[in-house]
Amino acid sequence: MILDFEILNKLSKEELINKFLKLNDELINQQQQLDKIGSQLNETQTFFNIFIHNPNPLVVIDKNFNIISLNNAFVDFAFMFYNITPTKGQTIFDFQNYNNIDQIRNRLKASFEGKSLSFIDKYSKNNRLFSFKKIFSPVFSSDGEIQCVSILILDITEQVEQEKRTYQFLQTIEKLLNSLNFMIFIVNVETKKFLYSNKYFSNVNGIIENQNYLDVFPNDDFKISNFIEKMSSDKNSLDSYKSTVDTKEFFIEKYDRWFSVNYTKILWSNEQTGVLVFLFDITEERQNQENLQKFNSELEKLINNRTLDLKLANKKLENEIQNRKEVEQELKIIKEQLTINLKKEKEISKIKSQLLDNLSHEINTPLTIISSSIYLIERYLEIGNPTEIKKHINQINSAIKYLSAFSEQAQNIYISQFGLHNFNRTLQNLIVKVDELIQSIINSNEITQKIQKLYQTTTIFYETDYEILQQIIRQFFNNAIKYTAQDGIITIRITENEETIEISIIDNGVGIPLEDQKNIFEIFYRSKQTIGLIHGAGLGLSIAQINANQLGAKISFNSTPNVGSEFTITLVK
């Protein structure tokens, strides 16, 4: 109010009093407003004192989008990502990415209208991506008016990266389970509904999530009900999810195959108790066992027949000795024949004993590896260790592969030793047949060695039983792979002259110790330096020697320890 003293002097007393009363009222009103402003300033100062030392970046913006306050953390943040040192009065748009200024302006306007907003911005620094959560909050005065907007910046980089790692880990686990060559599924103990199945199981049975197990398998093919009853009766399993794994073998009519079924209790998502089931197809394993039993039965029968024949021959010989004592020369021949027969019988008995002993030992070892690996896989699945699971799956595959190879070798020694092979001589290009064999071995194995082929010519027509010949070359080549370092060199050399054809497999591997070289073609013989380090039954070279004799061929070798070996089969034209 402006006071004009000349006017005041002309006023009456009553008018003057009213004038001063009005003036006083106005002064009181102004004082109240000043007190209110002071109170607001105190509240603001208290607010700033609270956030000024906040470890997270914090800045306050007025309605003109200019900075009115900021803490030290925001100064460090702006300098790091914008290379700018912020000051009061500076526009907030100096500290935003150019492509989102309009978006920031709209968010600030919304906050000045009373809305609290949050969003995530990303920044790149030193080839690393940082994530920050920005929280826009309106700041109200004591009378409820919005004075300014605070922006709190939270570093959530580690959280985002952790979420990404977790997601990647879950994807890896899912990918691993879907890549396994056996079926996995989980059934809810209470509702009997499927909680999970891997890709293999789904491909065979269709999408079955949330379906009732008994609807898909009405005959309870996997006997899950029995396991649930056993689990319910076991008090220890009620309090623990590390109960012993139950294993059964069934012939599943739905698949027309044999399976090894493994059960264990598991706590699934949302605190659901389930039965985790692993299905391993053991049809081939069962068939191999049946074939082995059949082989043992046939071998036993053959030995019994030979023994019976020998007994009959002995009896006949005794009768002839009694009846023809005068024929000394004939008696001598018969005695010699008897000696030969006895020697063969001992050899047959020895082969049987050695074969059965080695069969038991060589089969038990891989079966133990398979059993222990399955047990460890189950444990690693519980703790989520995909690297260890993959390693033990590889061990199982190696053990199965070894069992198959050993079974084949046992059959070969049986066929070769007793001359049961039916010869099938054909005239073919030897170079092509050998090269096809070498290439098939390379394609079916993870061979890291360098393979060299030194063929004198591309065409050598030769008549022989190529199945037996390929068995011999396969043995030489597999030995070269087994005893040669991964970065070593293996050479296949074929040469021809007027009288013979030579096929050689040469390596730069560990070689054969001198003390072992005289025994390497004996059945079941293995060097002490390789027992326990490299798988084998000591049959391969014995079979190769027998097969070579049947072909009328000759096997020779040269070997130097720590230098390498050369095995050669010489074919006579």
3-class SS at 219?
A: coil
Do the domains at 164-281 and 422-572 have one common CATH topology? no
> For 299-324, what is each residue's pLDDT tens digit?
889 888 888 888 888 888 888 777 76
CB 451 within 8 A of CB 438: yes
Q: Report residue 4's pLDDT band, with 50, 70 and 90 as the boundaries.
A: very low
pLDDT at 77 > cutoff 60 = yes
| CATH code for residues 422-572 | 3.30.565.10
Determine the topology of domain 164-281 in CATH: Beta-Lactamase (3.30.450)
pLDDT at 470 > cutoff 80 = yes
What's the CA gap between 461 and 34, in Å, rounded?
117
User: b/e string for 124-142 if b means 16 or more Cβ within 10 A?
Assistant: eeeeeebbbbbbbbbbeee
Determine the topology of domain 54-155 in CATH: Beta-Lactamase (3.30.450)
What's the CA gap between 121 and 108, in Å, rounded?
15
What's the CA gap between 223 and 170, in Å, rounded?
30
> For 193-235, what is each residue's pLDDT tens digit?
998 888 888 888 888 878 999 998 988 988 898 888 887 776 5
Task: Tell me what pLDDT residue 58 has.
Answer: 93
Task: Give the other-Cβ count within 10 Å of 187's Cβ.
Answer: 26
> For 171-201, what is each residue's pLDDT tens digit?
766 676 677 778 888 899 989 999 888 888 8
Q: Report residue 548's pLDDT band, with 50, 70 and 90 as the boundaries.
A: very high
What's the CA gap between 72 and 70, in Å, rounded?
7
pLDDT at 296 > cutoff 70 = yes
Mean pLDDT computed over 111-115: 92
Give how far the C-alpha of residue 108 lies from the chain's centroid of Cα atoms, to the nearest Å: 51
Q: Which two tokens mark 145?
A: 């008016």
> For 349-387, what is each residue's pLDDT tens digit?
566 555 555 555 556 667 777 877 887 788 888 887 777
Which stretches does DSSP call E strand in 62-197?
A: 67-70, 117-125, 128-140, 146-155, 183-188, 194-197
Residue with tokens 């009620």: 238
CB 230 within 8 A of CB 246: yes
Bridge partners (DSSP) listed for residue 259:
250, 281
Lowest average pLDDT, out of 160-164, 340-344, 468-472, 556-560, goes to 340-344
Task: Tell me what pLDDT residue 568 has.
Answer: 97
The number of helices, as runs of H, and strands, as runs of E, in the chain is 15, 17
Task: Tell me what pLDDT residue 424 has.
Answer: 86
What's the CA gap between 241 and 322, in Å, rounded?
80
3-class SS at 525?
A: coil
Task: Give the other-Cβ count within 10 Å of 509's Cβ.
Answer: 22
> For 480-524, what is each residue's pLDDT tens digit?
999 999 999 999 999 999 999 999 999 999 999 998 888 888 876
What's the CA gap between 248 and 279, in Å, rounded?
10
Phi then psi for residue 534, to 5 deg, are -130, 130
pLDDT at 572 > cutoff 50 = yes
What's the CA gap between 416 and 411, in Å, rounded?
8
Q: Spell out the residues 6+ positions from residue 217 whose beta carbon is closer than 8 angstroms to its own.
A: 254
pLDDT at 411 > cutoff 70 = no
Task: Tell me what pLDDT residue 113 has.
Answer: 92
> For 431-457, what is each residue's pLDDT tens digit?
999 999 999 998 887 889 999 999 999
CB 385 within 8 A of CB 266: no
pLDDT at 18 > cutoff 60 = no
One DSSP character per residue, 529-573 reads TTTTTS---S-HHHHHHHHHHHHT-EEEEEEETTTEEEEEEEEE-
Task: Tell me what pLDDT residue 458 has.
Answer: 93
Residue with tokens 């592969």: 401
pLDDT at 559 > cutoff 90 = yes
What's the CA gap between 485 and 449, in Å, rounded?
7
Would you state the torsion angle of the CA atoms of residues 24, 30, 36, 42, taken in this order, to the nearest 10 degrees? Answer: -110
CB 492 within 8 A of CB 478: no
Task: Give the other-Cβ count within 10 Å of 461's Cβ.
Answer: 10
**Max avg pLDDT among 119-133, 166-180, 397-411, 458-472:** 458-472
Lowest average pLDDT, out of 29-38, 86-95, 144-153, 288-297, goes to 29-38
Residue with tokens 């396991």: 227
Instruction: Compute the 3-state secondary structure of the chain and give helix, strand, coil in percent, each to the nearest 5.
Output: 55, 25, 25
First to last CA, the chain: 135
Residue with tokens 């197809």: 281
Task: Tell me what pLDDT residue 348 has.
Answer: 60
Task: Tell me what pLDDT residue 44 has.
Answer: 44
- Mean pLDDT score across all residues of the chain: 80
Q: Report residue 41's pLDDT band, with 50, 70 and 90 as the boundaries.
A: very low
Task: Tell me what pLDDT residue 474 has.
Answer: 92
Lowest average pLDDT, out of 70-79, 179-188, 283-292, goes to 179-188
Q: Which two tokens mark 322?
A: 């009694």
Pairing of strands 500-507, 58-61: unpaired
Mean pLDDT computed over 47-59: 68
> For 236-254, what is each residue's pLDDT tens digit?
554 454 555 788 888 888 8
Task: Tell me what pLDDT residue 566 has.
Answer: 96
3-class SS at 55?
A: coil
Task: Tell me what pLDDT residue 369 has.
Answer: 76
Q: Spell out the residues 6+ positions from residue 34 whose beta carbon is closer than 8 angstroms to its own.
A: none
- Reported as type and span, the H/E element at residue 79 is helix 72-82
Domain boundaries along the sequence of the chain: 5-47, 54-155, 164-281, 285-416, 422-572
Task: Tell me what pLDDT residue 59 has.
Answer: 93
Report pTM. 0.35
**Max avg pLDDT among 29-33, 131-135, 168-172, 312-316:** 131-135
